[in-house]
Chains A and B, each alone.
Chain A
Amino acid sequence: MTAARPAAGAPLLEVRDLAMHFPVRRGLLQRTVGHVRAVDGISFALAEGETLGLVGESGCGKSTVGGLILRLLEPTAGSVLVRGRDIAHLGRGELKPFRREVQMVFQDPYASLDPRQSAGAMVAEPFAIHSLAARGEIRDQVARLFDRVGLRREHMQRYPHEFSGGQRQRLSIARALALNPRLIVADEPVSALDVSIQAQVINLMTTLQRELGLAYLFISHDIAVIGHISQRIAVMYLGKLVEIAPRATLLAGPLHPYTEMLLNAVPIPNPRLKRKHQRAVASEVPSPLNPPTGCRFHTRCPLAEARCRSAEPVLREVRPRHHVACHLR
């Protein structure tokens, strides 16, 4: 399978044939009765300073991809290359330098912040762990990070519960930035926030990218947010990448029937665009425990043919930089 590469330059991150199968255990002896194929052989690359949006619905495996890239999970197969070095199977100690380059921001900052640690101490911790600054300098560094993410310096004394949702997300961004990473994996970073606060955090992330040259893997179910922030968009369905293309190409001319379904499903805030209401046909997402044969989308696809049920389509470049996994395109 060809890796869907970014436009130019050596990739900061490259994922090759990545797979994660979680065993399902049942019964008294906890015998493995099957595997949830959360991620099932995906490949893509991400350039310095780029934002790749990874979009898909619950259970498609997008968060697992994030976890694998961060090495919070060890993959069943495949490799994760950071500047050409495979980190997929490194031991704990060997991972430390990699952690400086790749950092993370999650959906619920409250769950990822220690409630008993002050905001300042939390942002200072990475400096100490990686022995990056002398004790006297750490405070200054932390203060500068607070400025950078739009928190006030007096907030350093506060605890997570004293912050609003948006401020907590700023705080997790400050902590992620402490080690001066090149890539931030952001998993649903604005999904829990109200619209007006969501806009603040998205703008902050865009500004930081411009100022620091950060790359983002931006994981979200919200295709409007993904469309706003990404330069390229990758669409996942049941553990597979079904389409990957530059943003404008994908949004204006989706090639995979699932991408099209996803885009058509988004309610548009313009009442004059009265869409014709379709008769509501119920269709369900199949279980990743037992994904359909052939193309995994064929059970819901309006265009499915006989070959879609038997042969699995391969992700291929059908137009420059536009990759799709569909027999019909």
Chain B
Amino acid sequence: MAADTVRPILSIRDLRVTFQGGLGLAAAVDGVSCELQRGETLAVVGESGCGKSVTALSILRLIPSPPGRIAGGAIEFDGRDLLALAPEELYAVRGNAISMIFQEPMTSLNPVLSIGTQLTEGLIFHKRLGIREARERTVEMLRLVQIPDPEARLAQYAHQLSGGMRQRVMIAMALACEPRVLIADEPTTALDVTIQRQILDLMVELKERLGTAIILITHDLGVVAEMADRVAVMYAGKIIEQAPVDGLFDHPRHPYTRGLMAALPRLDRLSASGEEGRLNEMPGLVPSIYAMPPGCAFAPRCPFATSQCHAEEPAFEELSPGHYAACWEAGRLP
């Protein structure tokens, strides 16, 4: 992103989110720090349970509590700490300056309210528009996200729409108030690949048009490569690598990131004939958040781990401009 963007639009500092479970208190997010620049797309990538969605939910304080609790850190937006806002102040931000879209649109669309009611609500509440203006603006938004026959949709309910259409409606709803930050949590994971393509293209188009900065939470490295300007890779509640997208794919520095990339079946690298080679396997499993190993959380699965890795947690260091990794061995990897 442009170098003159001095102040990030959103910055997360040392975020810690804990959950009280049957096995005790555990940190799902453990000291996450990152910044989002104006107009940029930051992808947060990782496997199930790495803490990427919990991080995203924390920004608008949507962590179900109990059992969850934001136990520490700060999330600065527009000079204010979102974690310190009073509830009314927070409502003024949610769906307005920062909005969110989710994997399953049916969890965020209300089944008993018409599409029109749900889409105009935010405009009436945040932008103080009259009903007529709000409806006009809503039709405009639906047209923008390529919903055919938008006027007729206002009277429809979510169940009358296909999955791809619901996702479009949710995006329209999220963008209605022209947010400066959009948090998209696996926005295309539940969709078929041709519909995913349409939604990804739509997000790119809208971003160019509205200049919205996006935090994109995903497990799909293909989506990351296509959408992101910068990438943060999470493992076991921490960001273990962060870099501009080209740098990350050209030269991943953390053994976990490397392992993840080598585990992917690749359409662009299939051998012309005959059998494919074996995919890279990472041995073992992600550790339970209730039983984190000492030192580097990836060490038990890491082919390069030394005794230091099993004992001391590696620092998150800048290895080349803008490229950070938390690995004792990053400088010595083959």
**A residues touching B (Cβ–Cβ < 8 Å)?**
57-58, 164, 166, 194-200, 202-203, 206, 221, 223-225, 227-229, 247-248, 251-252, 261-275, 277-285
Q: How long is the Cα–Cα vector from A222 to B32 in the complex, in angstroms? A: 32
B residues 193-246 near A (Cβ < 8 Å) are 193-202, 204-205, 219-226, 228, 245-246
What distance in Å separates the Cβ of A245 from its nearest Cβ neighbour in chain B?
13
Contact check, A196 vs B260: say whether CB atoms are below 8 A apart. Answer: yes
A-B contact pairs, 20 of them (CB 8 A): A57-B193, A58-B192, A194-B47, A194-B219, A195-B263, A199-B265, A199-B279, A203-B281, A227-B265, A228-B270, A228-B276, A248-B270, A267-B222, A268-B267, A268-B268, A269-B221, A269-B261, A272-B249, A273-B225, A277-B205
The 0/1 profile, CB within 8 Å of A marked 1, for residues 274-310 of chain B is: 0110111110011000000000000000000000000
CA distance A284 to B164 in the complex (A): 8
Contacts of B221 in A (CB 8 A): 195, 269
Q: Are A195 and B47 in contact (CB under 8 A)?
A: yes
Is B164 within 8 A of A268, CB to CB? Answer: no
Which of A221, A225, A267, A285 lies at the interface centre, i.e. has the most chain B CB atoms within 10 A of its CB? Answer: A267
A265→B146 contact, CB < 8 A: no
**Neighbouring A residues of B165 by C-beta, 8 Å:** 282, 284
B261, A194: Cβ atoms under 8 Å? no
Q: A57-B194, A203-B279, A269-B224 are in contact. List 12 more A-B contacts (CB 8 A).
A: A57-B195, A195-B264, A229-B265, A262-B193, A263-B267, A264-B197, A269-B225, A274-B226, A277-B204, A280-B201, A281-B198, A285-B192
How far is the CB of B207 from the nearest CB of chain A, in Å?
10
In the bound complex, residues from chain B placing their C-beta under 8 Å from that of A203 are 278-279, 281
Give B260's nearest chain A residue, CB to CB.
A195
Contact A270 B276 (CB under 8 A): no
Compute how far the CA of A212 lies from the CA of B199 in the bound complex, rounded to whole angstroms: 43
The 10 closest A-B pairs by CB, nearest first: A267-B222, A228-B265, A265-B197, A199-B279, A280-B201, A199-B263, A57-B192, A280-B202, A194-B47, A282-B146
B324 to chain A, nearest CB (A): 18
Query: Once bound together, how far apart are the Cα atoms of A264 and B198, in whole Å?
Result: 11
Q: Which positions 34-54 of chain B face chain A at CB distance < 8 Å?
A: 47-48
> From B269, which residue of chain A is reached at the shortest CB distance?
A270
Check A278–B201 contact: CB distance below 8 A. yes
Closest to A167 in B: B285
> Which of chain A's residues have a CB closer than 8 A to the CB of B192?
57-58, 221, 285
* A196, B193: Cβ atoms closer than 8 Å: no
Interface size of B in residues (CB-CB distance below 8 Å)? 56
Check if B285 sits within 8 Å of A282, measured CB to CB.
Answer: no
Complex Cα gap A166–B266 (Å): 21
The answer to whether B193 and A277 have CB atoms under 8 Å apart is no
Q: Please determine whether A270 and B249 come into contact, CB atoms closer than 8 angstroms.
A: yes
Q: Which residues of B come within 8 Å of A, CB atoms?
A: 47-48, 146-148, 162, 164-165, 168, 192-202, 204-205, 219-226, 228, 245-246, 249-250, 259-261, 263-268, 270, 272-273, 275-276, 278-282, 285-286
For B193, B196, B224, B285, the residue with the greatest tally of chain A CB atoms inside 10 Å of its CB is: B193
Q: Chain B residues near A272 (CB, 8 Å)?
A: 246, 249-250
Q: Indicate if the CB atoms of B249 and A196 lie closer than 8 Å.
A: no
Interfacial chain A residues near B285, Cβ < 8 Å: 164, 166, 197
Q: Which residues of chain B are within 8 angstroms of A197 by Cβ–Cβ distance? A: 285
Closest to B194 in A: A265
List the B side residues contacting A198 at CB < 8 Å: 263
Q: Do B267 and A266 have beta carbons less than 8 Å apart? A: yes
Would B225 and A271 count as touching, CB distance under 8 A?
yes
| Alpha-carbon distance A184/B147, docked complex (angstroms) | 42
Question: With a CB–CB cut-off of 8 A, which chain A residues contact B276?
Answer: 228-229
Compute how far the CA of A285 lies from the CA of B201 in the bound complex, rounded to whole angstroms: 18
- CB-CB nearest in chain B for A264: B197
* Closest-CB distance, A98 to chain B (whole angstroms): 29
CA distance A281 to B261 in the complex (A): 31
Shortest B137–chain A CB gap in Å is: 20
The CB with the most chain A CB atoms within 10 A, among B226, B273, B278, is that of: B226
Contact B264 A224 (CB under 8 A): yes
Partner of A275, one of B205, B226, B267, B275: B226
Q: How far is the CA of A324 from the CA of B333 in the complex (A)?
A: 47
Q: What residues of chain B lie closer than 8 Å to A206, measured between beta carbons?
A: 275, 278
B263 pairs with A267, CB closer than 8 A: no
